[in-house]
Amino acid sequence: MTRDMTLVGLPLSSNTLGPIWISMQGIFRTACARVEVAIPPKKEKIYGPGDAIDVYRDLSTIVAVATNSVFIADVYGDHEIFDL
């Protein structure tokens, strides 16, 4: 029994799938590049001991400009975080 390996009249073989796959890779890479340009990278900052004033200043700025919500995960945070 021979299976008909056609899709919309296009025979599926390595000769036809190779160029299709290469084209799809190009489209995907172009889309990824456009997204990377359109969405700025996230800013990340690590605070060390003695940076409490910097942490408070930066968190205050983030909370002030937030339009929806802010999620803060800090194992050392205390009630002062709610005063921002």
CA distance 19 to 22: 5
What is the residue-level pLDDT of the chain in tens, covering all 84 positions? 455 555 556 666 667 778 888 889 999 999 999 988 888 777 788 888 888 889 889 888 888 888 888 887 777 777 776 765
What is the H or E stretch that residue 7 is in? Answer: strand 6-7
CB 81 within 8 A of CB 72: yes
CB 45 within 8 A of CB 62: no
CA distance 5 to 41: 44
**Length of the chain (residues):** 84
The pair of three-digit structure tokens given for residue 70, joined into one six-digit string: 């802010």
Residue type, 81: I
